[in-house]
Structure 1
Amino acid sequence: MKKEEVPQDKSNLTDANLREMVYAVDENGEYTTALSSGWDPKTIALDNAIKDIEERTEEAKRKVLANETSPIEYYMELNKMDLPVLASYIGFWQWRVKRHFKPSVFKKLKHKTLAKYADVFNISIEQLKNIND
């Protein structure tokens, strides 16, 4: 795309007074950088992805409050992680992290294990145990 054709649509970046750097072709046919305040298709895609994450987070919170899952699943969603990412951060196998989603297993976790999760989520162990705090 030519430098003068770089989209300047309204987006979440506009609200924060930020701009995104993109590559464009200048008048000499050379690649250069240009600043864009947004692009409607990208904004729509990002808004849809954020809405999906928010819905999954609310569903995880509902499940925690109904004692169907542990707070680990809620904080995983809240921090925009999935099982493979969380497992890699914690240093456990995925099946083991998934097992920690069971409320009965979560209640028996050792302080050291809870501390690992709390550290990854950047919260205290008390916050990990009680999502209402």
Structure 2
Amino acid sequence: MTLLMTGSHSLAELRDAVCCVSDLQVCGEFSNTPDVAPEFISKDHYKSAFFFFEGVFYNDMRFPECQDISSTTIEWAKSHNFPSYSQAKMEDTLLEDLKVKVGFPYLYCHQGDCEHLVIITDVRLVLLIV
């Protein structure tokens, strides 16, 4: 999947633009009523997610039911003498605020264990002439 974004987009907007088949999975037991449409899909139920760019976990905390699913990884890394990692909210972070390497693989994780590589392939500077 290729997405075109501007620096004024937030990481939350990037997250909302990502389409993953696991987000469409049906939660619950429906074998007794297979013809009834489910009330919600996995994306509606498991709202926690994070991006990992250059040592920072950007957690989605837009909804009350969101959990910091990066904390387990941070605690594990700390207990195994890895460098310390920091955290921020993806909804408060714009793409223009990121320090990234073009062509370098980064991580998007949602639903606890569904992981995707994120690769920034192109960065352009728009010059406004007034």
Which TM bucket (shorter chain)? under 0.3
* Larger gyration radius, structure 1 or structure 2: 1
Whichever structure has more helix as a proportion of its residues is 1
Which structure has the higher relative contact order (CA within 8 Å, separation 6+)? 2
Q: So what's the TM-score if we normalise by structure 2?
A: 0.25
Greater share of residues in strand? 2
